[in-house]
Amino acid sequence: MASWQAHLVSWFLRRTFKPRLAKALHVDDARKLLHSGGDFRVPRDVEIRHEPVAAVPSEWVVARGAAPAATLLHLHGGGYLACSARTHRPYTCWFAQHGFRVCAPDYRLAPEHPFPSAVDDALSVYAELARTPEQARTLVVAGDSAGGGLALALMQRVREAGLPLPAALALFSPWTDLASTGDSMRENAARCSMFVPEGMQRGAAGYLNGADPLHPHASPLYADLRGLPPMLVHAAENEVMRDDATRLVERARAAGVDAQIRLWPVVHHDWQMFQRFIPEGRESLRLASEFLRERIAGATHAQHVDGPHSAAPHAAAQNPLESGA
């Protein structure tokens, strides 16, 4: 049963945030509304450093006094138009407190830097973090909303470049279909606490800048998913992007990918951002942390069994597939 906190926040957002965002026709107005995480109070046991990775401005988030064995690359949401590593500290601080060394890049945003700028920046950062198969075995990637779609686009670029793939992915309400073809765009238009379909379409157009919305690097739902790492997907039952998640998992499983999904009732899109208030946010992040640690342990065990010179996990990383672009 959903918590009273989930009911309260979903109701409040539907009554206040959603109508204001629907009327935000200018990108600056949307950015102000989506900056809700910018004032997140960083826990005392977490340290944040600002160090660029491959010339991309980035935040490094770690628990004080810890020496985590695994690195997590977190790609923030915001429709490719808004938000930053700072706004998404509810995610990165949680992961830092639960055993990860977190890298959160401030990739370039549209409309100033349209598609594929964000994907290019994500690839530059990833290539720096995963120079060897050994580094990739202790690297995982997480992303929420547009960041979830970006994580999947990144995996395609990594595969095409012949780089080693990470141990696993954690995707929170990923935006995988910029063409907005899912039934949930219509079915959940009134129930969704944050978005209206027209707003999603405006955001997609601002990012694409004339590019094909079915391009697999923009809409990973239409990509060749063969050989991608194990993935965990969490989404809200009532959000307009629900089918972006469910159809992704269906296609991933059909391609032979280990893909798990859980749909959460009542909660709003990206509810993990409210993890200090909504217990479902903490539960989602706890499950994701466990999933990622388990997959890292599995990849590390395989390395010890097969020897230090064995191939990286996910053979497709060594034999790039055509993306369909």
Model pLDDT, residue 302: 73
285 lies in a domain?
A: yes
Count H helices and E strands in the chain, helices first. Answer: 11, 8
- Pairing relationship of beta strands 100-105 and 70-75 according to DSSP bridges: parallel
> 321 falls in which pLDDT band (50, 70, 90)?
very low
Confidence of residue 292 (pLDDT cuts 50, 70, 90): very high
DSSP-assigned letter for residue 315: G
Lowest mean pLDDT among 36-40, 68-72, 175-179, 283-287: 36-40
Give the type of residue at 64: R
CATH of the domain at 50: 3.40.50.1820
Beta carbons of 140 and 170 less than 8 angstroms apart: yes
In a domain, 172, yes or no: yes
Q: Are 285 and 272 in contact (CB under 8 A)?
A: yes
Q: Is residue 258 part of a domain?
A: yes
Residue pLDDT, tens place only, 218-228: 999 999 999 99
* Count of domains observed in the chain: 1
Q: Does pLDDT of 298 surpass 50?
A: yes
Q: Are 87 and 137 in contact (CB under 8 A)?
A: no
Active site residue 145: yes
pLDDT number for residue 38: 57
To the query of whether residue 160 is one of the catalytic residues in this protein, the response is no
Q: Answer yes or no: are the C-beta atoms of 20 and 33 closer than 8 Å.
A: yes
Tens digit of each residue's pLDDT (9 = 90 or more) over 11-27? 999 999 999 999 998 99
What per-residue string of b and e applies to 273-284 under the rule 16 or more CB within 10 Å gives b?
bbbeebebbebb
Q: Give residue 69's pLDDT.
A: 87
Is 269 among the residues known to form the active site?
Answer: yes
Q: What pLDDT is stored for residue 300 in this prediction?
A: 78
Q: Does a structural domain hold residue 64?
A: yes
* Residue 324: inside a domain: no
pLDDT grade for 35, boundaries at 50, 70 and 90? confident
Residue 325 forms part of a structural domain: no
Residue 86 falls within a domain, yes or no? yes
| pLDDT greater than 80 at residue 37 | no
Cβ-based neighbours of 81, under 8 Å, separated by 6 or more: 27, 30, 31, 109, 110, 111, 203, 206, 207
Residue that the structure tokens 């997480």 belong to: 142
Whether the per-residue pLDDT at 283 is higher than 70: the answer is yes
pTM listed for this prediction: 0.93
Q: Give me the catalytic one of 74, 269, 280, 289.
A: 269
The residue from 10, 58, 193, 239 that is catalytic is 239
Q: Is residue 14 part of a domain?
A: yes
Which residue range(s) make up the domain with 243? 4-305
Q: How confident is the model at residue 97 (pLDDT cuts 50, 70, 90)?
A: very high
Q: In what order do the strands lie in the sheet with 168-172?
A: 46-50, 58-63, 100-105, 70-75, 139-144, 168-172, 231-236, 259-264
| pLDDT tens string 145-198 | 999 999 999 999 999 999 999 999 999 999 999 999 999 999 999 999 999 999
Which of 145, 173, 180, 193 is catalytic? The answer is 145
Three-class secondary structure of residue 157 per DSSP: helix
Q: What is the pLDDT of residue 306?
A: 61
- Give residue-wise pLDDT tens across range 50-84: 999 999 999 999 999 988 989 999 999 999 999 99
